[in-house]
Structure 1
Amino acid sequence: MIYYVFLFLEFLYPSFNNVFDLPYSSTVYRTLLLVLSVLVTIMFAKFVLKRNTSTKFILIIFTTLLISIFIGLTISKYNKLSYVALVNYSTFILRTIPSVFIVPILLEKSKNWHLQKIKILYFFTGFSLLLFIIRNITTTFHWATINYGGINYNDFTFVSAINILFGIVLIENKIKTKTLSRTLFFVLLILLLSFATLFLSAGRSGIISAIMIVVIFIFRNFINFRIKISKFILSSFLIVVIFIFFSLLSRNSKFELVSAGLERAVGFINLGNTGPLINWSNTSSRLPIYQDSLKLFFERPILGHGIGSVYMIHPTAYFSHNIFLDLLIEGGIMLLIIFILIIFKSLLNYKKYEVTFHSEMSLYVLVLTFIKLFTGSNYLVEPLFFCSIVMLLMSGHKYKLNESKN
């Protein structure tokens, strides 16, 4: 369980605060993160000592540590270490690097082991979201003033999005195993609740990523000519119930904020209106950030300013809020090409080798985190992004999981 708590601590901690009505404490969060990071690293060291570590994974670890060295060189070069930069670099060391370390451990675990952990997190987060709705259903509040366990509306969006991902994984497993357990009703109920809080939060990237996950789920389980009628019925039922649920909510005055949040989330797109496709006035001031990012890129277009440099040199924000622009600033065209090749290789592995639970879960996580990085985060502080890529890169590898060293 410790591995899942470590990977999803960013979302679990505010959910815990919300359940027990506790204030958010940066000190508590960072202490938990430090303790979990140390424990995970120790477990990884024990794992390596008892296993034949693959050459591929050794190369991945070397690459991750090399990024840390490049960050150190960048810090020494610019010598402008702000508080935000320090926090983000610490996050990379304490969260991102260990998230790569635990990949072989997660690969060794069975599907049932993963499903048990996902189910626990799913029902706990669902309970927390339900409490949040109950506490606020009779009050007047706006998405911009949402306080869920100490986090704002944008972070709250991804709590809902992650829970939707968990729900989709659980439902997909039920479809594949052709089992209709008693918990399926509650899984569907929490999924609907997670969608309600998702739209209420009005976070663009979270809403888009959740929709993309549902699209992939439908494509994998519904748009398939070999699909059996039981799968067809279950998938169709899920889609219809979600549609009816939100149709009712949109007509209920108590839930006007759900539709208002959705309008805010997609309001940056000019559909059916004259003018450009993107309404930049409704993108949280992204345009000047992107423009300054492009200026930094053109200053050093080939090799960039150094890994992690965007935190110290960007004039209007701490990062570009777009993974491609951040990569171009920090490593130029060369780093962007390397990144595209890595993503291509990870997706090729998914398509090439036999699809497993690990690769399916990793694909969903990769989609969610990539959209988050495309619109509002930085790649160095997204451990789930790194973890999902490494998981996919390790797909199909003949891993000697049960052989101890002689």
Structure 2
Amino acid sequence: MSKIISVSCIFGSNVFFVLLALLGIRYTGVENSNIYIIYTLFITTLSLLLFFHDALMKNRKMKVTLLFIPIIIFEIYLLTMLFSDVSSLASMFFYYYLLWSLPAFFMGIYLSWDNRHEYLFKSLDLILIFGSGAAIISTIFNVIQGSYSQGLAGGTNQTLSYVSAFVFGLNLFLNFSKYNIVRFRFAKNRLYNIFCVILLPFQLLSVIISGGRGGMVLLIIYLILFLIKTIKSYHSVKLSLFIFSVILTAMFFSFSLNNEIFNSGLERSFAYVGSGGLNWDGTSNRDSVYQDAINLIKERPLIGYGLFGYLSYYPNPHNLILEVLLSGGLLYLILFILIVFYISKKYLSITKKNKDMQFIGIIASFPIVMLMFSGTYMVSSELWFVLGFILSYKEKIE
């Protein structure tokens, strides 16, 4: 049970929509159903109980700085309430931080103890299967409906795009790269490997038909990282299987070219690419969104508008760097860069001693790419899990 709770906590609301898609249910919003609220409170409560029970019963020793992070965020929100008006959007971000990001942060700490990350790595094959099933079912539904906007079980088409790209990446690294992680017995079967080869074109088509630009960028990044790793290690069998899957994908493309929703999804997935470089007309007005955010940053370049205060001036800028600058200006950006540098350095040190830990980076790629195009880092359970895990993980001395 603890394994199911930990995985559900890490991948947050994405698990909710994957489960609904597999059940053939479409979520129509809180105004029609409380199921999302019930699910969120259930996972959040059990995750926190799991973490604090283990921390107290086993008298875990934690770095004090780990507890400072959520305390500082909580205090900043309270100070914003006391000294300025807090927008409804800021309150919503804070509540979702408490419900998804904070438990995921603690779950990262929890899984860093006693090699529990092996639970997560072992469950990646299940995430691959369930996520692929949900993506394919939703894609088929979208094709029948003739619209990519149906998304993943009532979620946005962006959710479908990123989930499809993520399971595509998992498929590549789990089944076509050499790792020594603990896996289920069925995952070691040759028939399962063949099944995963067949899944690749379907996962790619799900990304394309969803029309998600960010998901396509994530898929391309996974593909580049995989090719670099495969060519360096030169696994001929793995490479041959991958080439075979590429041929399958090309065949699927040839059959799909006359499909209207496929063509519209493909056009939208690469709409930002123009003959002369970046085409801003195909970015859903991101150029005007970014320009408005930059104009606000110029007014307060040094200290910004506050972690939650900027939302009273401007909604989410859909870009991680711009959000940091709006929140705390250049001072916060410098601090942010130093934190990223420290985490990256520790991650490289961890993976140097244990290459299997590269799966933490594979998971991290998902929210990092997404946050460059949409969302907010305050509400990203996958990102906060990675943050908690790397900061808490203690490297074993050989």
TM tier, shorter chain?
0.7 to 0.9
Structure 1 position 197 matched with structure 2 position 202: no
In the aligned structure 2, how far is the partner of 1:55 from the partner of 1:115? 23
Structure 1 position 98 matched with structure 2 position 103: yes
Encode CA deviations 1:199-240: one digit per residue, 9 max, x unaligned.
Answer: 1111111110121122222222x232xx35xx23303421x2
Give the equivalent residue in structure 2 for 1:404: none
Of 153, 166, 179, the match for 2:170: 166
Give the equivalent residue in structure 1 for 2:291: 291
Of 327, 336, 341, the match for 1:339: 336
Give the equivalent residue in structure 2 for 1:217: 226
Compute the displacement of 1:373 (Å). Answer: 0.7
Of 358, 361, 368, the match for 1:360: 358
In the aligned structure 2, how far is the partner of 1:181 from the partner of 1:174? 15
Encode CA deviations 1:319-367: one digit per residue, 9 max, x unaligned.
Answer: 1100111100111111111111111112211222334367312211222
Structure 1 position 32 matched with structure 2 position 35: no
Give the equivalent residue in structure 1 for 2:136: 130
Give the equivalent residue in structure 2 for 1:65: 71
Structure 1 position 243 matched with structure 2 position 241: no
* TM-score normalized with structure 2 length: 0.87
Aligned length: 382
Amino acid of the structure 2 residue aligned with 1:347? S
SS at match of 1:321: coil
Unaligned runs of 5+ residues in structure 1 are 400-406
Structure 1 position 349 matched with structure 2 position 346: yes
Of 370, 376, 379, the match for 2:377: 379
Asked if 2 retains the 8 angstrom alpha-carbon contact of 1:310 and 1:329, the reply is yes
Amino acid of the structure 1 residue aligned with 2:320? I
Compute the displacement of 1:93 (Å). Answer: 0.8
Asked if 1 retains the 8 angstrom alpha-carbon contact of 2:41 and 2:99, the reply is yes
* TM-score normalized with structure 1 length: 0.85
SS at match of 1:375: coil
Amino acid of the structure 2 residue aligned with 1:234? K
Asked if 2 retains the 8 angstrom alpha-carbon contact of 1:61 and 1:100, the reply is no
Structure 1 position 328 matched with structure 2 position 325: yes
Compute the displacement of 1:149 (Å). Answer: 0.7
- Alignment CA distance shift 1:366-1:112 (3 Å): closer
Asked if 2 retains the 8 angstrom alpha-carbon contact of 1:250 and 1:258, the reply is no
Encode CA deviations 1:220-265: one digit per residue, 9 max, x unaligned.
Answer: 2x232xx35xx23303421x23432332233224545334323322
In the aligned structure 2, how far is the partner of 1:104 from the partner of 1:391? 5
Compute the displacement of 1:34 (Å). Answer: 1.2
In the aligned structure 2, how far is the partner of 1:311 from the partner of 1:392? 29
Root-mean-square deviation (Å): 2.6
Q: Which runs of 4+ in 1 moved over 6 A?
A: none
- Alignment CA distance shift 1:342-1:157 (3 Å): same
Amino acid of the structure 2 residue aligned with 1:10? S
Give the equivalent residue in structure 2 for 1:48: 55
Compute the displacement of 1:180 (Å). Answer: 5.7
In the aligned structure 1, how far is the partner of 2:290 from the partner of 2:300? 16
SS at match of 1:102: helix
In the aligned structure 1, how far is the partner of 2:316 from the partner of 2:103? 23
In the aligned structure 1, how far is the partner of 2:340 from the partner of 2:292? 26
Give matches, 1:220-299, under 5 Å. Answer: 220=229, 222-224=230-232, 227=233, 231-238=235-242, 240-252=243-255, 253=257, 255=259, 257-271=261-275, 273=276, 277-299=277-299
Asked if 1 retains the 8 angstrom alpha-carbon contact of 2:214 and 2:369, the reply is yes
Unaligned runs of 5+ residues in structure 2 are 182-186
SS at match of 2:231: coil
Compute the displacement of 1:73 (Å). Answer: 1.8
How many percent identity over aligned positions?
20
Compute the displacement of 1:146 (Å). Answer: 2.5
Give the equivalent residue in structure 2 for 1:309: 309
Encode CA deviations 1:284-313: one digit per residue, 9 max, x unaligned.
Answer: 111221112112212221121111223221
Give the equivalent residue in structure 1 for 2:386: 388
In the aligned structure 2, how far is the partner of 1:118 from the partner of 1:286? 34
In the aligned structure 2, how far is the partner of 1:152 from the partner of 1:265? 15
- Alignment CA distance shift 1:172-1:124 (3 Å): same
Compute the displacement of 1:35 (Å). Answer: 1.5
In the aligned structure 1, how far is the partner of 2:23 from the partner of 2:69? 41
Amino acid of the structure 2 residue aligned with 1:223? I
Amino acid of the structure 1 residue aligned with 2:160? F
Asked if 2 retains the 8 angstrom alpha-carbon contact of 1:100 and 1:386, the reply is yes
